[in-house]
Amino acid sequence: MLVPLFWLVVATCAALAAWAGWFVVRDRAVVLRQLWAGAVVEGLLVLQAVVAGILLATGAGDVDGALFWGYVVTQLIVLPIAAAWAFAERTRWSSVVLLVATLTVAFLEYRLLQIWGAA
């Protein structure tokens, strides 16, 4: 179930990570357009959480609930923090933080898929 969404999240994270990485190389701070891209990723994550919730509620999936939702909540927190930083730090380092944040979200996504498949 999560698989198409999983790839969509990973692909958008990778794209945003590449964009942020390019800005690191160019010595530029995060721009507003990148935050909109981040908002799209965040929207996908919320959608994924809703889908997972419905699937679990209808008995279509069987996972370790606390573990799974712990990862979901953690994953949802990361990008908003990076966005807040983009406003506070107007140097290349906000791009570095966005890069780290997108890679973190992608890694957590991978762990979510593992947890989903493990039960």
Name the minimum Å distance from CB 35 to other proteins: 9
| Residue 63 burial by Cβ neighbours in a 10 Å radius (0-12, 13-18, 19+) | middle
Computed on alpha carbons and rounded to an integer, the radius of gyration of the chain in Å comes to 15
Piece in contact with other proteins (CB under 8 A), picked from 7-15, 42-50, 52-60, 93-101? 93-101
Name the minimum Å distance from CB 66 to other proteins: 5
Angle subtended by helix axes 65-88 and 32-57, to nearest 10: 170
Binding site for other proteins (CB under 8 A): 27-32, 66-67, 70-71, 73-74, 77-78, 81-82, 85-87, 89-94, 96-97, 100-101, 104
